[in-house]
Chain A
Amino acid sequence: QKEVEQNSGPLSVPEGAIASLNCTYSDRGSQSFFWYRQYSGKSPELIMSIYSNGDKEDGRFTAQLNKASQYVSLLIRDSQPSDSATYLCAVSPLSGGYNKLIFGAGTRLAVHP
């Protein structure tokens, strides 16, 4: 059974701090990694995708991938109350968006003023 593990949280951080969200996966052959944000009652929204080891930055978001450790993380700098949501880590055994994603259960982030 291929699995994606996330700490369910809630992860509580003060406004302006860095939020660090972590995810591990069991399938060593995984090729594509995604972070989605889901607000309560809404559908998931793609934040970042990463395919190679290292860091990928987009605005306040940085995704980090370490395939040797089977670990992917998402850093949110200067956290805002509007970042409060559930963050879903998703992994695919193949590259591209045509393939089934395996989702973690999500980490709930709460940013307090």
Chain B
Amino acid sequence: GAVVSQHPSWVICKSGTSVKIECRSLDFQATTMFWYRQFPKQSLMLMATSNEGSKATYEQGVEKDKFLINHASLTLSTLTVTSAHPEDSSFYICSAGTSYEQYFGPGTRLTVT
């Protein structure tokens, strides 16, 4: 299957700072990537759809000014959590689609202190 990477795998930051998470498709070009958030023992929650060269489409209830998404190339999408607060602590996972299927990155665990 296709390979998707994320960096960093975990990050600890102080409240009020911003954190950038990178998602890369390593062996295929991804015109569309997706960003999810998952709290412990809960389901995946889709945050936004990231399209190369255009603005991201955010799901209802997701603050687009807080979660900035940039998809500048066919292999890279970034999610920036701005002015992070402890309630933003979560497992952030990206996925990227091929012609047939969607593959997930390994996830980034964010802890805001």
Contact with A along B68-97 (1 / 0, CB 8 A): 000000000000000000000001010011
**Contact (Cβ within 8 A) A96 B106:** no
Contact with A along B32-75 (1 / 0, CB 8 A): 10100000000110100100000000000000000000000000
**Known contacts A43-B93, A96-B99, A99-B97; 5 further A-B pairs (Cβ under 8 A):** A41-B91, A42-B106, A45-B104, A46-B101, A103-B43
**Contact (Cβ within 8 A) A34 B101:** yes
Contact residues of B with A, CB < 8 Å?
A: 1, 31-32, 34, 43-44, 46, 49, 91, 93, 96-107
**A interface, over-half SS:** loop
Residues of B within 8 A of A75 (CB): none
Please, which residue of chain A has its CB at the minimum distance from the CB of B98? A97
**Contact (Cβ within 8 A) A97 B49:** no
With A88-B44, A98-B32 as contacts: A43 and B105 at CB distance below 8 Å:
yes
**Contact (Cβ within 8 A) A97 B101:** yes
With A100-B49, A103-B44, A105-B43 as contacts: A46 and B102 at CB distance below 8 Å:
yes
Which of B49, B98, B101, B107 contacts A42 (CB under 8 A)?
Answer: B107
Shortest CB distance A57–B (Å): 17
Q: Does A49 contact B (CB under 8 A)?
A: yes
Contact residues of A with B, CB < 8 Å?
A: 34, 36, 41-46, 49, 88, 90, 95-101, 103-106
**Contact (Cβ within 8 A) A101 B102:** yes
14 A-B pairs with C-beta separation under 8 A: A42-B106, A42-B107, A43-B93, A44-B44, A45-B104, A49-B100, A49-B101, A95-B100, A97-B96, A98-B31, A98-B97, A101-B46, A101-B102, A103-B44
A49, B43: Cα distance in complex, Å: 20
Residues of A within 8 A of B49 (CB): 100
Shortest CB distance A100–B (Å): 6
